[in-house]
Structure 1
């Protein structure tokens, strides 16, 4: 099987490295006089002020756009998507850690950095505790769930063979659920054809933006559709827990996939259980993954069965709802108002448009 060409092969790596070097020197003129560990800590814990200086240098060197720290947010918004890859690559060289310049593309708690977590498990368990506490505060009566590997997908950037990649870290159970949810959603649309149409308040100006008001049109079966989707949500939650439990004692394994989603280089790293996470250190990520890499074909039969079971479950529940469900019974729910910025509305309107080609 021919290995697909690297999607950013046209980008000049030397130019990116030079821009990153300039940015780090602007952030602190002593940077290249420090030992490697001190440089790494500086990259991982850089202040917001220093980070802004670095980004202004990168945008100037690589795109020829001069901006101040105050202008930076608007400048970022105006950079065409394909050219963001250039800046993101250079940015990674100014903030990544370890052998692979790995970096979490997520907000971290004040005063914390990736260097505070030795293994993937250390970070994932800390994130689990944070998410559980947040849910207890946001939802009265929340009872909590047991910890399993990567309930919450992480978005990551790193170098693989000196090439820039976006990456997603997830558990095998979560990957299964993504595939099950996708197949299930398609099946629900076949069972009860539906679409989303503008509500009466869609796009109306509101303080801070515009109202987002989309309604479901299911040809008179809106209540039945809502009931099926509600049951489907519960089914997915239960299957995730069951799958996580069933694979928790399996030998450690890492599965890798390269989805062809767009023009960006993206890699999925799929970890089967907590034991696997404890074996992989952030600073030696690819090296630690290498002996654990397993062919995903070993899991395809189980995934196929899970999808088949889910489709059967949906069909059975659809029949039950049409026969026994009373659509006149309305579930009480808190009404919410969604306000979107004008930029977000524009992005949604243009989501299917072609990206500007890289020049």
Structure 2
């Protein structure tokens, strides 16, 4: 179990200054904030409207970075800040928006009128999100048959305080974590089996309807069809394996595994939950203290994970051989052509990456 408080060097930040400026920002949002009981303060942080949020962010920009601006400039300035300046801002922002013992904040969109306080446990939130996704899929795809609920199909991003230290966090299930690791290893193998790259298409970057066209062409040295077929099979393998692993782990005892990552010197911890029963035992407002008795050693997963990766890469190799021997490039499946338009900001972000 990786639970060290500072597993790698952190950017030097004056915590006392951050707390003081965050408190000043909350007063800027509502001058009566510190006269309220704790429950009302927490509700305000979780349900802050856009005007209050802009007042908070304007105060944080001024106090931490010396950037003064009007309320209507806040979003643009915050969006354009370099990554190196976001850590102290996100830390202070967490104090103004987080809930519970750990000031946890979930970086996910919610329905109008909903906040994290509307969901007592992680299961309550995750199952509600599952119902929303299933409904959206049925509306988008008329022949969608649906899948059973299993814990955390898609990872969520969060922020929280761990021993008074700011952390980014990824919340995911054990099955999803395994499949993500399998996918990474498999994609690397596909790159070796069929080398490829994306090159600019004729219309890439052209202005259209207030944005820019995204037109990148796949170049696999004449094996584009074979690559497409292999990717389709690979996607199907991952979907099936996720369901099988989810069912397997559903029979396991509740457990939480943690894994620390060193990404751009920002403290980041993965919280990996074995199944839905685990989620039912963890409350948002008592996140770390509820996780603690369920903690298990991440190293105990290594052997099983390596077996899964070995099986998946062997499957990929066999399917690649089958495709190379039997693929008929004259049989092309019709696909609906899509036009992708990116906003200027999105195009700029892609060019920076």
Q: TM-score, normalised by structure 1?
A: 0.95
Contact 2:7/2:260, CA 8 A, preserved across alignment: no
For residue 77 of structure 1, report the CA deviation from its aligned partner. 2.5
Structure 1 residue 51 corresponds to structure 2 residue 53: yes
For residue 261 of structure 1, report the CA deviation from its aligned partner. 2.3
Aligned positions of 1:167-246 closer than 5 A:
167-246=169-248
- Which stretch of the first structure deviates more once superposed, 145-154 or 73-82? 73-82
Q: Give the aligned partner of residue 341 of structure 1.
A: 343
Aligned to 1:127, which of 126, 129, 133? Answer: 129
Over the aligned positions, Cα root-mean-square deviation in angstroms equals 1.4
For residue 92 of structure 1, report the CA deviation from its aligned partner. 0.5
CA distance in 2, matches of 1:19, 1:8: 20
Contact 2:8/2:262, CA 8 A, preserved across alignment: no
Structure 1 residue 271 corresponds to structure 2 residue 273: yes
Q: Give the aligned partner of residue 33 of structure 1.
A: 35
Contact 2:259/2:271, CA 8 A, preserved across alignment: yes
Q: Give the aligned partner of residue 354 of structure 1.
A: none
Aligned positions of 1:5-16 closer than 5 A:
5=7, 7-16=9-18
Contact 2:11/2:266, CA 8 A, preserved across alignment: no
CA distance in 1, matches of 2:47, 2:319: 51
- Which stretch of the first structure deviates more once superposed, 319-328 or 146-155? 319-328
Matched position secondary structure for 1:327 = coil
Matched position secondary structure for 2:250 = coil
CA distance in 2, matches of 1:306, 1:8: 34
Q: TM-score, normalised by structure 2?
A: 0.97
For residue 206 of structure 1, report the CA deviation from its aligned partner. 1.3
CA distance in 2, matches of 1:284, 1:53: 28
Contact 2:8/2:265, CA 8 A, preserved across alignment: no
Cα 1:5/1:182, change in 2 over 3 Å: closer
Unmatched segments (≥5 aa) in structure 1: 352-359
Q: Give the aligned partner of residue 357 of structure 1.
A: none
Contact 2:3/2:258, CA 8 A, preserved across alignment: no
Contact 2:94/2:105, CA 8 A, preserved across alignment: yes
Q: Give the aligned partner of residue 70 of structure 2.
A: 68
CA distance in 2, matches of 1:302, 1:37: 44
For residue 6 of structure 1, report the CA deviation from its aligned partner. 5.2
For residue 9 of structure 1, report the CA deviation from its aligned partner. 4.9
Counting matched residue pairs gives 351
Aligned to 1:328, which of 319, 327, 330? Answer: 330
Q: Give the aligned partner of residue 314 of structure 2.
A: 312
Contact 2:259/2:270, CA 8 A, preserved across alignment: yes
Deviations 1:48-75 (A, max 9, x none): 1111111111111111111122111211
Matched position secondary structure for 1:65 = coil
Unmatched segments (≥5 aa) in structure 2: none
For residue 201 of structure 1, report the CA deviation from its aligned partner. 1.2
- Which stretch of the first structure deviates more once superposed, 91-100 or 68-77? 68-77
